[in-house]
Structure 1
């Protein structure tokens, strides 16, 4: 029995394990210290610890992974996506160690993995490309060439993908600052700060063609995926087929993708990505030399298992189907569920999953019934989402006989998904799927920026949730007899004035006055003066966590799922997750992180740059430091003008959420 080591983690590791086992492979998982109890560890036949927490000391450490392969007796390695999946050196090291690398050759990865080389090669193969510049790395020369191209211009990391090391420069005066930022992120992510320039195309469609090739010279495509709904160049929604392609354009793009793959001697699974403008002209963007995150939507419309195809081609077999045998049916849409807070600039989140369940029936990889739902994930109640890796929790997909059926099915599946723990983007995804522009298939690459540039919850919902959280903190935190006797107001005299709570929501602390009435009835008055009347059933005092309650708030009954522990309350209310911390008895210095000169890390992560020194004078909003967390760069800025008195971290340091990084003595 061949043994396959999966050099990855999370949902893609589980996805590969599922198919590999069906194909007769013994599977090996690797895991970092942070992933010791992760679902993929328990799903594999064998699991090998590689230690460390950060990607650099775990899933990016080639020596540790190759040693794990040796220790487990692995014959082959599947890299999944991300991490080392497009690293030519890793592919070579696998080959040198006698391991079959499930993917294209190291030479092809090296050629097509560098955006500059790939673009030059694509031009030589006759594939249309975006106007740009791919030569000198001199900063002044790059700025000069940007002027020739014309603003806005795109800066792109030559060695990377996934939106990292990419910046859109709107004006010449911003060029050098954006170039420095892009280079820094590219160096951190890929170990290479080489940058290329391209004309920034706006309001276009991002289309990728799934190609597959074997060692016998056969190469086909399996149609396209539309990945236009993006945020910060990161894909959020993908679908197949594209709602904007004609059959003629689909045929032309497929032929170009196959021609490029044949020209570079490609084998195994890959994706050729294009941008398509309003005139139907398409331009080569890049080639991904691996399985894509969104491969599942192609599987749903083609009835294939692309991981099984990968393993077959790696064994030296011919492709299971010829081009004329590929039949695409129906429509599939996928959304990416992330641990992030849309209300706080999509700040990545980490922490324990307090409760999770789905009430929809999941399909098999190549099932064919209408409509159907598929959820690729690594979720389990009690599992901790670590702060070191990509914040994606899973990919929820729906297939229907047509696009609207798939869209409606996906919206219902999102509604049925119950996830309590770290903040996530489930509600935001549903807003996208139900938006009229998306519903009509007209969403382009600028769609999210144009339509979702403000808060995603209305103020009324926010106020109700805040009032409810206060009532639940009170109701679930006091003895039963105090609730029923209405002795929980902490007042003297005949008039119940209520008690004052202070709740933290993100970086803000809100004062709420709560008055308790008999049998779990409350009045919560917010700082704005708004008053909400809340009734909590006594059944809410059950000992199980989380508690499922029916709450009457202002005369409307709503289901609520709530978990409270150690001063923190998490709840699902009105189709959104909310998290609050009880600060009522916290020391005063814990109130608010804004305006007190104490600059704290917003999450666990790694400091990538310290931009100031003790004694420096800073203005409000001045850049103090940058940090990387969950594959995203974040900035720490001054909360007022004053003098920097302490710098408590250095570049390369790992910091924890809430850790003091920089202190500022504000000017009087």
Structure 2
């Protein structure tokens, strides 16, 4: 097997089956000696690129990309450009080392934060300053160049909806972009590629203002994470194109032969907690089930059920990619598929993606990089009580689960008369009724269950009675609850784990708790929080306080680096620091106490 064929199998097999990071493969198996990509010298990375782009007729945005990296110089250029400005790592990518300074007062703090993150991520803290366009769109164009002087574009992708400057949902083509603007975008991207004699796959990124004026931002000399949406709308295999071009062939299609067909979305599924400022998470994928893949739905992932999401890598679990004939149909397919993507064991952003993709402004295609902050109230509604019908489903699932366990016990013990081998109402309190309690959030919900002779149940929640019956059925590795609640039939997926009942259906997901008896639960101490806990495992990068310092609620106490990101640890209350429990450079485990506060009756150290 020759080297090109061997590497193609590694990359393409990785692409078809799993999207494991190439960094996790043996280095000897991931060498591409024939790969050609354009790389700017660090000192001239953006100043040179902007000059070349401008000379090539590509619109550019005002900014400073010079060698002088002193605080004073950067601050002067920020003042000259005019606030707000973007502070960005020269070696940046993936939103790392990127901050927005909206005024001169906050410039220094944002600059230092961006430098620290850039140093950790790229071992280079050189910064550039650019004018920040309010409510912009992030639109990028896929380009290809070959060794024969040819270059083409494969239309644009809109990657505007982001959190922490990182993309969440991407789509192609960009919504609301008319054919003329699309042509100009593509031609500008091709001019950018030709200006540097670019060979291979590249992504030319633009900022687009509300009037569809666009400006060159940067060029990524590789395929992007979201390249599958381009493959979907053009019917191409861009990895195959890379290999053919690297082998010296011409681009497989001419510009006229590249046709745009339909619409595609990609949703990035992350292990994170959107309700806690999208805090990345880690832990086991105890249950993982996905929608069936096919020509119009593809999943790129590097994990399977039972694997663990590690703190040492990006928390992305998978990319869910869908295609349909138009944007509305593709969006419906995305939402349908997200309902079928079910994970138990750690927090994910799946429910958030469903809320986001259903928002009227997103459905209308009114996307921009401030979408999440602008619609924060709609995207993060206060938790609502579970519907009584859902509580009945959870109660039925628990009863049927108990019956399955006791039936198995009966078979195992062969003692059909044992009271522990019966799940009927006669064993439970020696009557046909049973009082259950389930937990909806922090609220205990009493449910009076009556066992009926026909195998159904009458359940009373508050003053309402529900007639409930059903059964469990296995389909593949999943258990479903076929049930009827007051004549309404449904079939949610059922998982019972760690005193929690999980229900997944096309109407949404629910988590209903099973309260632990008091005699089994650990004694809990009440009172105010006397320490600040680490949100996740990470390294203490910088400490801003010492014992005896007085702090206010929200003051930054220290900075942690975790999962390649910088996290500010803020004071949960007004108070006085009693003790700092970690030093800079040391590692803290999740939920470890980082800083202790003086209790009210204590006296601070002198």
Please confirm whether the aligned pair reaches a TM-score higher than 0.5, indicating the same fold. yes
Matches within 5 A, 1:581-592: 585-589=520-524
Q: Is the 8 A contact 2:473 2:481 kept in 1?
A: no
Unaligned runs of 5+ in 2: 407-419, 452-456, 602-606
The correspondence for 2:546, drawn from 613, 622, 633, is 613
Give, in angstroms, the shift of residue 298 of structure 1.
0.9
Superposed CA offset, 1:179-203 (max 9, x none): 2222222222211222222221122
Q: 1:287 to 1:499 in 2, by over 3 A?
A: same
- 2:557 aligns with 624
Partner of 2:577: 644
The counterpart of 2:344, out of the listed 402, 420, 423, is 420
- Deviation string 1:538-580 (CA, Å, 9 cap, x unpaired) is 85699x9865335778997664444444556655365236486
Instruction: Give 1:367's aligned residue.
Output: none
Question: Per-residue deviation at 1:286?
Answer: 1.0
Question: In the alignment, is the contact (CA less than 8 A) between 1:268 and 1:313 conserved in 2?
Answer: yes
Q: Is the CA contact (8 Å cut-off) linking 2:139 and 2:156 kept in structure 1?
A: yes
Q: Residues 112 and 288 of structure 1 are in contact (CA less than 8 Å); yes or no, is this contact kept in structure 2?
A: no
1:461-512 per-position Cα deviation (integer Å, ceiling 9, x unaligned) = 45869968996998668986696448879xxxx9x99798889x6xxxx352
**Corresponding residue of 1:2:** 2
The counterpart of 1:373, out of the listed 288, 297, 301, is 297
Give 1:325 deviation, angstroms.
Answer: 2.5
- 1:503-652 equivalent positions in 2, closer than 5 A: 510=442, 512=444, 514=446, 517-519=449-451, 547-549=479-481, 559-567=491-499, 570-572=502-504, 574-576=507-509, 578=511, 585-589=520-524, 595-652=528-585
Q: Is 1:447 matched up with 2:400?
A: no
1:394 corresponds, among 309, 312, 318, to 318
Match of residue 127 from structure 1: 58
From 151, 154, 158, the equivalent of 1:226 is: 158
Query: How many angstroms does 1:13 deviate by?
Result: 11
Q: Is the 8 A contact 1:350 1:386 kept in 2?
A: yes
Write the deviation string for residues 103-139 of structure 1: whole angstroms up to 9, x where unpaired: 515xx25469944553344334442211222233222
Unmatched tracts of structure 1, length 5 or more: 21-37, 42-54, 78-98, 364-371, 526-530
Is 1:16 matched with 2:16? no
Match of 2:111 in 1: 179
CA distance in 2, matches of 1:524, 1:644: 48
CA distance in 2, matches of 1:578, 1:156: 41
Offset at residue 459 of structure 1 (A): 3.5
Deviation at residue 293 of structure 1 after TM alignment: 0.8
Are residues 325 and 539 of structure 1, via their aligned partners in 2, closer, same or farther at CA, if it must alter by over 3 Å? closer
Match of 2:361 among 421, 437, 459: 437
The equivalences for 1:293-332 within 5 A come to 293-332=225-264
Distance 1:417 1:586, change over 3 A: same
Please say if residues 207 and 275 of structure 1, whose CA atoms lie closer than 8 Å, have aligned partners that are also in contact: yes
Task: Give the conservation status (yes or no) of the 8 Å contact 2:494–2:504.
Answer: yes
C-alpha contact 2:303 2:317 (8 A) present in aligned 1: yes
Quote the Cα distance in structure 2 between the aligned partners of 1:472 and 1:652: 51
After superposition, residues 202-217 of structure 1 pair within 5 angstroms as: 202-217=134-149
Three-state SS of the structure 2 residue aligned to 1:612 is: coil
Partner SS, residue 223 of structure 1: strand
Looking at structure 1, the residues matched to 276 and 492 of structure 2 have their Cα atoms a distance apart, in angstroms, of 23
Larger Rg: 2
Give the alignment of 1:19-98 within 5 angstroms: 59=23, 68-70=26-28, 74=29, 77=31
Q: Answer whether contact 1:207 1:225 (CA < 8 A) is retained.
A: yes
Is 1:398–1:409's contact at 8 Å kept on the other side of the alignment?
yes
Q: Distance in 2 between matches of 1:103 and 1:536?
A: 65
Distance 2:298 2:348 in 1: 19
- Aligned partner of 2:604 in structure 1 is none
Shift of 1:213: 1.3
Q: 640-649 vs 225-234, which deviates more?
A: 640-649
CA gap 1:207/1:648 in 2 versus in 1, 3 angstroms: same
Residues 113 and 289 of structure 1 are in contact (CA less than 8 Å); yes or no, is this contact kept in structure 2?
no
Residue among 275, 294, 306 paired with 1:362: 294
Question: Equivalent residue for 2:410?
Answer: none
The 1:541–1:237 alpha-carbon spacing in structure 2 relative to 1, beyond 3 Å, is: closer
Q: Are the counterparts in 2 of residues 356 and 379 from structure 1 also a CA contact under 8 Å?
A: no
Cα distance in 1, alignment partners of residues 6 and 125 from structure 2? 28
Change (3 A) 1:486 1:183: farther
Structure-1 separation of matches of 2:546 and 2:102: 31
Contact kept in structure 2, 1:355 and 1:546, CA below 8 Å: no
CA distance in 1, matches of 2:177, 2:231: 19
Aligned to 2:409: none
Matched, 1:403 2:399: no
1:267 to 190, 199, 220: 199
Does the C-alpha gap of structure 1 residues 280 and 69 become closer, same or farther in structure 2, counting only changes over 3 Å? closer
1 CA distance for matches of 2:472 and 2:165? 43
1:341 aligns with 2:273: yes
Give the secondary structure class of the aligned counterpart of 2:187: helix
CA deviation vs aligned residue, 1:139-178 (integer Å, no higher than 9, x gap): 2332333222222222212210222222222232222222
1:278 aligns to 2:278 (yes or no): no
In 2, are the aligned partners of 1:151 and 1:199 still within 8 Å (CA)? Answer: yes
Query: CA, structure 1 residues 274+541, in 2 after alignment: closer, same or farther (shift >3 Å)?
Result: closer
Q: Give the whole-Å Cα distance in 2 for the aligned partners of 1:289 and 1:345.
A: 31
Structure 2 CA distance, aligned partners of 1:660 and 1:551?
Answer: 46
- Report the CA distance shift for 1:466/1:327 in structure 2 as closer, same or farther (over 3 A): closer
Q: Taking structure 1 as the reference length, what is the TM-score of the superposition?
A: 0.74
Give the whole-Å Cα distance in 2 for the aligned partners of 1:465 and 1:633: 43
Q: Is the counterpart of residue 661 in structure 1 residue 594 in structure 2?
A: yes
